[in-house]
């Protein structure tokens, strides 16, 4: 275990990048992160220190944003690189980084998917198709509650999407236990705060467009659907995911509708969740006693899970909440780093 780990961050000026820098800067077992400029990430032109874009960081000795070079990373002794970048950048940059012996935690969707049919939604154009294919196979999907052992040895860690984290964690225990009638189909109705769309403004994310409104988008076409299918072992068409945009800054609430394979008492369903997540510090099981709300998990690394069971015991509604910038992005990335380098999963996140 390296007690003075040196991290580097690309894309620090985005919302997830900011949270990542903030967490790393206060992490007790890592050095102050090096920040590198990425033009294609929408980094603010002329910003040479992150505190210029985010004055709330002022007074911490500065967070300079440097021009990237491999030599600078070597001289600094960088141990792990975080990419809060567009997937195009990650797809292009990661092969050489891995070849140079760096460990990479990628917050984009570049390396999350194993099945080529699911990757098609990204339209990747790889300079070296063979190298990319090998990395696709080698990348570890960074959901600690499901893949902790594989994460520990990962060279390339694909941080999950925010929506998939909320849905996979809610469904995995019951699907693995055989409680869910997957052939009947699962409906996932998810709502996210506007920060989930990233920092670069668009006509759909301006305040005047979002305030006082609530809208669905990317119905039947959201690129996170493949993650859910692969991680839950479901066939295409067995899960309908519909995302919605909430007029709030941050947070996700997923409402998931399932038909059970047979009538099951609520106590048994709750016990399944509690046993599955026993010893997992960043999942809180509310059970049937109380349904989670966005405000409970906002500004934390928790994913909160609760459910309601129909009187006939055959249908259940699962509610899952998390902060899309923390457990859905930067917090989970730090949780993964902790596992990769032998720290406690809670380190730097409490």
Contact by Cβ (8 Å): 168, 143: yes
Instruction: Pick the catalytic residue from 162, 188, 303, 321.
Output: 162
Q: Which long-range contacts (CB under 8 A, 24 or more apart) does 230-235 make?
A: 230/113, 230/114, 230/115, 230/118, 230/141, 231/141, 231/143, 231/146, 231/160, 231/164, 231/168, 231/172, 232/168, 232/171, 232/172, 232/175, 233/175, 234/175, 234/182, 234/186, 235/182
User: How far is residue 140's CA from residue 143's CA, in Å, rounded to a whole number?
Assistant: 9
Nearest to 256 by CA among 305, 223, 216: 305
Q: What is the DSSP string of 103-157?
A: EEEE-SSTT---SHHHHGGG----SSHHHHHHHHHHPEE--HHHHHHHHHT-SEE
| Centroid of chain to Cα 340 | 16
Q: What is the DSSP string of 257-272?
A: EEEBSS---HHHHHHH
Rounded CA gap, 345 and 331, in Å?
A: 10
**What's the residue count for the chain?**
350
- In sequence order, which ranges of the chain are alpha helices (DSSP H)? 15-25, 50-53, 70-76, 87-99, 116-119, 129-138, 144-152, 162-176, 207-210, 225-232, 266-276, 294-297, 330-340
- Annotated catalytic, 188? no
Nearest to 164 by CA among 139, 141, 130: 141
Give the chain's count of helices (H) and strands (E).
Answer: 13, 14
DSSP string, 245-257: E-SSSS-EEEEEE
**What is the set of active-site residues?**
162
């Amino acid at each position: 275990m390296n007690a003075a780990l040196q991290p580097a961050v690309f894309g620090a000026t985005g919302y997830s990048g900011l949270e990542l820098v903030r967490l790393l800067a206060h992490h007790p077992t890592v050095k102050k992160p090096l920040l590198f400029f990425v033009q294609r990430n929408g980094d603010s032109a002329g910003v040479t220190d992150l505190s210029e874009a985010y004055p709330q960081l002022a007074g911490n000795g500065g967070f300079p944003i440097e021009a990237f070079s491999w030599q600078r990373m070597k001289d600094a002794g960088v141990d792990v690189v975080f990419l809060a970048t567009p997937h195009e950048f990650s797809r292009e940059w990661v092969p050489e980084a891995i070849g140079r012996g760096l460990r990479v935690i990628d917050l984009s969707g570049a390396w999350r998917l194993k099945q080529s049919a699911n990757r098609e939604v990204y339209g990747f154009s790889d300079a070296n198709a063979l190298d990319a294919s090998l990395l696709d196979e080698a990348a570890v999907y960074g959901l600690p509650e499901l893949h902790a052992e594989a994460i520990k040895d990962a060279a390339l860690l694909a941080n999950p999407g925010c929506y998939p984290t909320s849905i996979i964690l809610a469904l995995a225990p019951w699907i693995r236990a055989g409680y869910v009638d997957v052939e009947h189909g699962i409906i996932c109705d998810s709502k996210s705060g506007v920060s989930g769309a990233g920092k670069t403004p668009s006509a759909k994310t301006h305040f005047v467009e979002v305030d006082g409104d609530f809208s669905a988008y990317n119905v039947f076409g959201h690129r996170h659907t493949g993650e859910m299918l692969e991680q839950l072992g479901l066939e295409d068409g067995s899960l309908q995911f519909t995302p919605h945009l909430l007029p709030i800054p941050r947070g996700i609430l997923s409402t998931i509708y399932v038909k059970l394979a047979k009538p099951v008492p609520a106590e048994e369903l709750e016990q399944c969740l509690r046993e599955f997540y026993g010893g997992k510090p960043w999942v809180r099981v509310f059970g049937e006693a109380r349904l989670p709300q966005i405000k409970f998990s906002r500004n934390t690394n928790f994913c909160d899970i609760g459910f309601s069971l129909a009187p006939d015991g055959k249908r259940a509604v699962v509610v899952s909440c998390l902060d899309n910038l923390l457990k859905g992005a930067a917090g989970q990335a730090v949780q993964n780093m902790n596992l990769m380098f032998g720290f406690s999963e809670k380190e730097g996140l409490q």
